[in-house]
Amino acid sequence: MQIRKLFRVLVAGGAIIGGVVACGGSDKSQGQTSSPTTGGDGGTNPDGGMPGGGGTYGW
């Protein structure tokens, strides 16, 4: 399974379970930037006063 195929298998497959058809793929979103409602600070100093939060380790 190639990485490019994972969008279809994981995202589109999951979205269908969730009742949504996910459009796009590897050639969509390239070069897209933050929407006007999001900060461009990478989450380190969000406008909404919600700093912190973490992630989970994987393989």
Partner 1 sequence: MVKKTGQSELSQPLRQVVADAWTFRFNVEREAAIRFARLAKRLEGIGALPTVVEMTVRASHDEGRHARHCADLARRYGAALIPEEISAPEIAPPGLGDRERVLYEVVAACCITETESTSVLTSLFNEATDSRMHLILRQLLRDEVGHSRLGWAHLAHESTRGDVQYLGRLIPNMLEVYAQDGLFGAAPTELDAPELLSHGVLPHSMKRSIFNMTLLEVVFPGLESLGVPSGPAREWLVRRTAPAAQAL
In whole angstroms, give the CA distance from residue 12 to residue 7. Answer: 6
Q: Which residues bind partner 1 (CB under 8 A)?
A: 1-4, 6-7, 9-11, 13-20, 22-26, 28-30, 32-35, 37-44, 46-59
Contacts of 55 (CB under 8 A, 6+ apart): none
Contacts of 59 (CB under 8 A, 6+ apart): none
Least spacing, CB of residue 16 vs partner 1, in Å: 8
Least spacing, CB of residue 25 vs partner 1, in Å: 6
Least spacing, CB of residue 36 vs partner 1, in Å: 9
